[in-house]
Amino acid sequence: MALNCGIVGLPNVGKSTIFSALTASPAEAANYPFCTINPNVGIVGLPDKRLDVLTQKFSPKRRVPATVEFVDIAGLVKGASRGEGLGNQFLSRIREVSVLAHTVRCFDDPDIIHVAGKVDPVDDVETINMELAFADLDTVEKRREKAERSSRVMGKEEQKKAATVLSAIGKIKPLLENGERASAASLSEEESQAVGDLHLITMKPVLYVCNTDDGGVKHGNPHIDAVRNIAAREGAETVVISGKFESELAFLESDEEKKEFLAELGLEESGLSLLARAAYRLMGLITFFTAGEDECRAWTIRKGDLAPRAAGAIHTDFERGFIKAEVYSFDDLVAYGTEAKIREAGKYRIEGRDYAVRDGDVVFFKFNV
């Protein structure tokens, strides 16, 4: 499964506008449903003030941020799980992503058509969640039938596996039938592994994106409050964005212009920065850094990856011939100012193969092949 974030929601909620602002490249967008039939894919640099500080300290020839891949998936409608509005095609795209950025319209504008004829975030969220649940229900039913056949005709080992699958499905199915998320099921580790290959959409982490107007960003509104209440019940995160504002911001040329534009709304950073970091975190990713005169770079690994695997993010030879990792934390660099003073303070560490690299580590790998 790819490590990427899929932007989903009803038609005309601002998905393509947000995607275009994220990637600073226009995606197809129009005032009618199903404009985005083929998904747009964009790689977005992850805003990270730590990399900015490293760049200031080392003055490298090159600065390379970590990245997040976003996929703009066409709008779903009621009945998508039954094939309405090219639903099957779009749902298959959603299965391929790691995290869902569920974009919800939280603004009123009579000039922009709403697929249901009215702006109602609660109903919009329920429509999408029901369609995703019903799509998963179809997947679960097919696996249940297969598991039941296996339990009757296969050997003892296969029967045991089938029993675990059926146990998991027994917990998941009632939730899906009620339009709830499969992630709410209390599964054992064994049960989770048994149904992991189903890639259930409602098992994926969700980030709710409230697309609003400038007033909504500044002061909030009842539409945003309604989405936040839903997210709170689900244990999900919420990001508030003005798609129109962000798209204008993205195409400003200088950093100074962008700062002034943000200041007009009383913001220190864009909503898209918050969105990119939240998606990155929900994918279970962390950042470590390499720093020097040639390059300061942020590298992406999974949380919990050991030092050799982290070295492999740079080059496979680094992982294959891993000897050790010389490590200090970004926070120690801020506290002590230089690598030399970090060494003097005893904060410069030598770590071996069993070290789990931490978010914010600055690392120099030693290897031999």
Q: Evaluate if residue 1 carries a pLDDT over 90.
A: no
What value does the mean pLDDT take over residues 60-82? 79
Predicted local distance difference test score (pLDDT) of residue 299? 96
pLDDT range class, residue 170, cuts 50, 70, 90: very high
pLDDT range class, residue 185, cuts 50, 70, 90: very high
Pairwise pLDDT comparison (264 vs 2), residue with the higher score: 264
Least Cα distance to 319 among 328, 308, 330 occurs for 308
| CA–CA dist 248, 271 (Å, integer) | 13
Q: Evaluate if residue 226 carries a pLDDT over 90.
A: yes
Three-state secondary structure call for residue 310: helix
Q: What is the pLDDT of residues 273-330, one digit of tens each?
A: 999 999 999 999 999 999 999 999 999 999 999 999 999 999 999 999 999 999 999 9
29-33, 126-130, 177-181, 204-208: the lowest-pLDDT one: 29-33
Predicted local distance difference test score (pLDDT) of residue 187? 94
Are both 4-129+203-281 and 304-367 of the same fold?
no
Rounded to the nearest angstrom, the gap between the alpha carbon of residue 144 and the centroid of all alpha carbons in its chain is 30
Beta-carbon count within 10 A of 338 CB:
10
Predicted local distance difference test score (pLDDT) of residue 82? 57
* % of the chain with per-residue pLDDT over 90: 59
Tell me the C-alpha to C-alpha distance, in Å, between residue 27 and each of 38, 105, 218, 306. Answer: 11, 18, 27, 38
Q: Does domain 4-129+203-281 have CATH number 3.40.50.300?
A: yes
pTM attached to this predicted model? 0.84
**What DSSP element (H or E) covers 328?**
strand 322-329
Least Cα distance to 10 among 110, 108, 111, 87 occurs for 87
Rounded to the nearest angstrom, the gap between the alpha carbon of residue 330 and the centroid of all alpha carbons in its chain is 24
Q: What are the beta bridge partners of residue 324?
A: 366
Q: Evaluate if residue 86 carries a pLDDT over 60.
A: no
Give the pairing of strands 206-211 and 285-291: unpaired
Q: Does domain 304-367 have CATH number 3.10.20.30?
A: yes
Where along the chain do its domains lie?
A: 4-129+203-281, 304-367
Give the pairing of strands 295-302 and 67-72: unpaired
Predicted local distance difference test score (pLDDT) of residue 64? 94
Q: What is the pLDDT of residues 235-289, one digit of tens each?
A: 999 999 999 899 889 888 888 898 899 888 888 888 889 999 999 999 999 999 9
Three-state secondary structure call for residue 120: coil
Q: What is the pLDDT of residues 13-67, one digit of tens each?
A: 888 888 888 887 443 333 334 444 456 788 888 889 999 999 999 999 999 999 8
**Greatest pairwise CA separation for the chain in angstroms:** 70
Q: What is the CA radius of gyration of the chain?
A: 23
